[in-house]
Amino acid sequence: MGRKILIIDDEDDIREVASLSLETVAGWEVIKASSGAQGVARAAEQHPDAILLDVMMPGMDGPATFRELRRNPATAGIPVLLLTAKVQGTDQRRFADLGVEAVLFKPFDPLTLSAQISRALGWN
């Protein structure tokens, strides 16, 4: 089944590598946003099956973007996976307490990214 994934990340290369990976390996449709605000708007317009959300972004960071997505009834039910380079235990607990589906770590393996997302969301 073809899935639609929204990638929200301010780093061009991360967006491109993740996008290419999900399109090529899994055959998923990918929507991209380079900021939290743009991501919130795209999520409401496009209704993706899941959102891959960077934690550290200028302006509206990942947690703030996540809260904004949850406030909007049109996007409140979309599963969100955080993408972060922060691997400290305290950060991981704080992210898990937000209510996201999973926390994935940078750098990620492009060949297994879709499998990680599928596993986290029970899409297997």
Q: What is the DSSP string of 8-60?
A: E-S-HHHHHHHHHHIIIII--EEEEESSHHHHHHHHHHH--SEEEEES--SSS
Q: Which tens digits make up the pLDDT trace of 103-114?
A: 898 999 999 999
- With a cut of 70, say whether residue 40 has pLDDT above it: yes
Distances (CA, A) of 67 to 73, 75, 109: 12, 10, 27
**CATH, residue 80:** 3.40.50.2300
Number of folded domains that form the chain: 1
* Domain around 93: 4-121
Band (pLDDT 50/70/90 cuts) for residue 96 is confident
Answering whether pTM is above 0.75, one says yes
